[in-house]
Amino acid sequence: MKKLWLIYALITTLFWGVWGAFTEIPANAGFPGTLIYVVWSLTMIIPALVALKLIGWKLDTDKRSIIFGLIIGFTGAGGQLALLTGAIANGPAYLIFPIISLSPVITILLSVLFLKEKASLKGWIGIALALIAIPFLSYQDPDTAVSGYGWLVFALLVFLAWGLQAYFMKFANESMKAESIFFYMTITGLLLAPIALMMTDWSQAINYGANGPYLAFGIQILNSIGALTIVFAFRYGKAIVVSPLTNAVAPVITVIISLIIYQMIPHYMILIGMGLAVASMFVLSLEEE
């Protein structure tokens, strides 16, 4: 099917958009981000088993596949750990996800330079708009500022990690099965879980109720399924097209849902940044397959 990549990309976009809007709710209810990460790593097991079943449990185990699998896994899981323990813990989703949505800038630049994928004038305009958007998105109104800039540092780390992950994901898809890529993503996610446990402040009261780990599981499984479908999207589509559609469009859904939930309008500087990010997203999405 010629547009198979688009079907997988749209599934990822929808699932990640909804996931982003609700991912901070368990944390606000007293279930720490470190433990949300652990729950997320466990949800990865379900789609990983499905993926392995699809290839008859024949995993790519050559040295090259293992190396690329681990690189993709650690950049993805590391970004997730930074998001849940640093960014979400210190800032609201409507500020964090627009910045993360600009990670295709990194993916596109690397894909053009090293994978020789072509970027048109529209692509370079989209990249420029994305870079200009970042300082606007990081603006804080002195009267309603989020405490500190710690969230911004972590958001930029996620931005970098996920941009690199998408590039290596496309690169690895040329020589290994997408299902194997996701398996290594799952393994690395689980490997970082003990770090998240060590980072947990066990002296605080932890909510183990329905809106704690159970709600977190229901929300994080959306991310895990989206992570599987994006691997397939990169298998069938070009990185300079898939990356903007998934990593940029999904946060727009997140922002809209988050603003409805919190019933607040950001400062006009942030709105300008959001507008530039959306413009960048649409321009990048016009890149021809």
- Report how far residue 94's alpha carbon sits from residue 180's, in angstroms, rounded to the nearest whole number: 33
**What is residue 287's predicted lDDT score, i.e. its pLDDT?**
61
Among 276, 281, 185, 277, residue whose Cα is nearest residue 242: 281
Output the pLDDT for position 186.
97
Q: What are 200-209's contacts with CB under 8 Å, separation 24+? A: 200/32, 200/34, 200/35, 201/32, 204/32, 205/30, 206/30, 206/31, 206/32, 206/35, 207/26, 207/29, 207/30, 207/31, 208/31, 209/29
Angstrom distances, CA of residue 178 to CA of 94, 211, 218, 229, 240 = 31, 34, 24, 9, 18
* One pLDDT digit (tens) per residue for the chain, 289 residues: 567 888 999 899 899 989 988 988 998 899 999 999 999 999 999 999 999 999 999 999 999 999 999 999 999 999 999 988 888 777 777 778 778 878 888 988 898 888 887 767 887 887 788 778 877 776 666 555 555 677 888 999 999 999 999 999 998 988 999 999 999 999 999 999 999 999 999 999 999 999 999 999 999 999 999 999 999 999 988 887 788 777 667 767 877 787 788 776 777 887 888 788 778 777 866 765 5
Domains in the chain, number: 1
- Residue 228, pLDDT score: 96
Six-digit token pair at 260?
Answer: 């409805």
What is the domain extent for residue 20?
A: 4-285
Whole-number pLDDT of residue 138: 65
| pLDDT given at position 285 | 67
* pLDDT for the residue numbered 148: 65
